[in-house]
Structure 1
Amino acid sequence: MAEKNKRFVVACAQMRSGKDVMANVDAAARLIGEAADGGAQYVQTPEMTNILVRSRDELFAQIVPEGACPTLTALQEVARALKVFVHIGSLAVRLDGDRAANRSFVIDPEGEVVARYDKIHMFDVDLANGESWRESQTYRPGESAVGVDLPWGRLGLTICYDVRFPTLHRALAENGAEVLAGPAAFTKQTGEAHWHVLLRSRAIETGSFVIAAAQGGRHEDGRDTYGHSLIVDPWGKILAEIDGAEPGVTLAEIDLSEAAAARRKIPALENGRRFSLLPAPSEPTLLREAGG
């Protein structure tokens, strides 16, 4: 049997999504087309491709259930027309009741959805500049990690804040993922501090490629996102980056056999061991001077 081709061209489409769903659809379709014209076979868009708005009322006035989502339908047609894999980093999708899902979709070149993933870790934080976010008030967290087989190898799905939880990435890699997706809408403050080091760390510790399309710039709701979409190899080397916050496309050819090579050199996935954690002593041990 012929050996699977492990080499393919991937792209990040960096966006600045706003409050107008159809304007965001048009922007995403244009960037995906640009990536396909550049030879991309897999194109990833950022978290919240369809809408980025802080007001809960404004969000729920526009989002719909998955089956009626115009962004999903439109980008399925784009994938079909261009014959590429389109990975929608995430969409805000209405669920029953007063919650939404922050959901990724992987669409094959026939326009079929081949994987869905709901963001597990909710961004509930208070930042030093006064920014406060409570994603759990709007979104229902996912409960399952998801990997999907592409023609070249397995892709593990994560979204934005998930990047801070190494156990998720390790579980995906142990399940066979050779490339990890990290589409995001990172805040400017956290991005400047942590974006590059977190993505490179997830690549290094799992021996995986990491592809992370990002939102970037000042959005209509007043927030600033960091941009700097990245493609990172299993050794932690940045293969491609959009150096800034402007919308655009970056591409790289990757060879998933390099993941296996990295894992042979440093077999951290194989070398991991279970361990117990001893309870902390209830009282510190006091050292006494002789004769004291």
Structure 2
Amino acid sequence: VKCSAIQLVSSPDPIANMDSVRRLIGYAVGLGSTLIALPEFWVSFGSDEPLAHVAMAKQSSSFRAFMSEMARTHQIFLFGGSIPTESPNPDRVHNTTFVYDPHGNEIAHYHKVHLFTFHGSNESLNESRTIAPGRGFVKADLPTIGGVALSICYDLRFPELFRSLGEFKIIVAPSAFTVETGQAHWEVLVRARAIENQCYVIAPAQGGTHANGRRTHGHSMIVGPWGQIIDELALGEGVIAADFDCEAIDAVRNKIPALASRVV
């Protein structure tokens, strides 16, 4: 199975972003990929409008239909990054990832649980002002692959999330790291989650300067079960790809049976 991660520099305009996604999915399919993952908030990013997420959430059904169409048209498993969806609180949204099978059916979804708070050198962020946390963690089960752990961005800092899901073969982690946190921690976190879970990590990201001047770290990467970076894209729109090899996972788990050695 060939897997791809798509990197974007999303604008506040969902139509333009859908055009980019359509084009890049087509490119990834041309590489032979049958599992494709999008980044966090691919549908709209970089708006200074306080209620932008709420407005996007009201349109979430059309974005879900678009992702379903992409999966069905190209006969792929599509991990839909994340989009804003409505929550019980009218002033806050869920940050939600959806998974689609090659028939266009939604087979799993996950609302981001851990909400980012950051007091940085040049910017401060508090996601809880506009986002409502989800409850519970989710693993999608794919035929021929097995379990895929779902997460979004800040979740990467919480290894307990992944331990709670039991056995899986892949982590998908759509993200939009800040430049400051990304330069310091992104690669370490992605590779650490791969090493400790002895699995692949597919980490598609936002990567560039957005309409409101906000900069995201990018460096989308696919990491193997030994912790090796298989493919990476620093900045700008693009596609990375890697072959998923279940035998490579088995080899690592046999070499160091760390998961079997756990006592806590």
Question: Which segments of 5 or more consecutive residues in structure 1 lack a partner in the other structure?
Answer: 1-7, 275-292
Q: TM-score, normalised by structure 2?
A: 0.95
Do the aligned partners of residues 18 and 261 (structure 1) sit closer, same or farther apart at CA in structure 2, a change above 3 Å counting? same
Alignment partner, residue 187 of structure 2: 196
Alignment partner, residue 280 of structure 1: none
Structure 2 residue corresponding to 1:50, chosen from 38, 43, 49 = 43
Question: Which segments of 5 or more consecutive residues in structure 2 lack a partner in the other structure?
Answer: none
Alignment partner, residue 137 of structure 1: 129
Deviation at 1:169, TM superposition (A): 1.9
What letter corresponds to residue 197 of structure 2 in structure 1?
Answer: T
Q: Is the 8 A contact 1:65 1:94 kept in 2?
A: no
Alignment partner, residue 37 of structure 1: 30
**Counterpart-to-counterpart distance in 1, 2:113 and 2:12:** 24
2:256 is equivalent to residue 266 of structure 1: yes
What letter corresponds to residue 250 of structure 1 in structure 2?
Answer: I
Deviation at 1:65, TM superposition (A): 5.9
Q: TM-score, normalised by structure 1?
A: 0.86
**1:19-69 superposed Cα distances (whole Å, 9 cap, x missing partner):** 111111111111111101110010000000111134322332343164xx2
**SS of match in other structure, 1:142:** coil
2:223 is equivalent to residue 229 of structure 1: no
Runs of 4+ in 1 over 4 A off after TM superposition: none
**Counterpart-to-counterpart distance in 2, 1:57 and 1:100:** 10
Q: Structure 2 matches for 1:19-34, cutoff 5 A?
A: 19-34=12-27
**SS of match in other structure, 1:114:** strand
What letter corresponds to residue 240 of structure 2 in structure 1?
Answer: T
Alignment partner, residue 254 of structure 1: 244
What letter corresponds to residue 57 of structure 1 in structure 2?
Answer: L
Structure 2 residue corresponding to 1:220, chosen from 201, 211, 219 = 211
2:166 is equivalent to residue 178 of structure 1: no
Structure 2 residue corresponding to 1:79, chosen from 71, 79, 87 = 71
**SS of match in other structure, 2:81:** strand
Alignment partner, residue 55 of structure 2: 61
Alignment partner, residue 98 of structure 1: 91
Q: Structure 2 matches for 1:274-289, cutoff 5 A?
A: 274=264
Deviation at 1:101, TM superposition (A): 0.7
Paired positions, count: 261
Q: Which has the larger radius of gyration?
A: 1
Do the aligned partners of residues 134 and 269 (structure 1) sit closer, same or farther apart at CA in structure 2, a change above 3 Å counting? same
2:162 is equivalent to residue 162 of structure 1: no
Q: Is the 8 A contact 2:53 2:93 kept in 1?
A: no
Deviation at 1:229, TM superposition (A): 0.7
Do the aligned partners of residues 62 and 171 (structure 1) sit closer, same or farther apart at CA in structure 2, a change above 3 Å counting? closer
Greater mean alpha carbon deviation, residues 47-56 or residues 181-190: 47-56
**Counterpart-to-counterpart distance in 1, 2:201 and 2:48:** 28
Deviation at 1:266, TM superposition (A): 1.9
Greater mean alpha carbon deviation, residues 47-56 or residues 71-80: 47-56
**Counterpart-to-counterpart distance in 2, 1:240 and 1:37:** 17
**SS of match in other structure, 2:164:** helix
**Counterpart-to-counterpart distance in 2, 1:81 and 1:73:** 12
Deviation at 1:93, TM superposition (A): 1.4
**Counterpart-to-counterpart distance in 1, 2:187 and 2:253:** 21
Alignment partner, residue 8 of structure 2: 15
What letter corresponds to residue 60 of structure 1 in structure 2?
Answer: V
**Counterpart-to-counterpart distance in 1, 2:29 and 2:94:** 28
**Counterpart-to-counterpart distance in 2, 1:116 and 1:269:** 26
Q: Is the 8 A contact 2:56 2:85 kept in 1?
A: no
**Counterpart-to-counterpart distance in 1, 2:149 and 2:171:** 5
The alignment's C-alpha RMSD in Å is: 1.3
Deviation at 1:126, TM superposition (A): 0.7
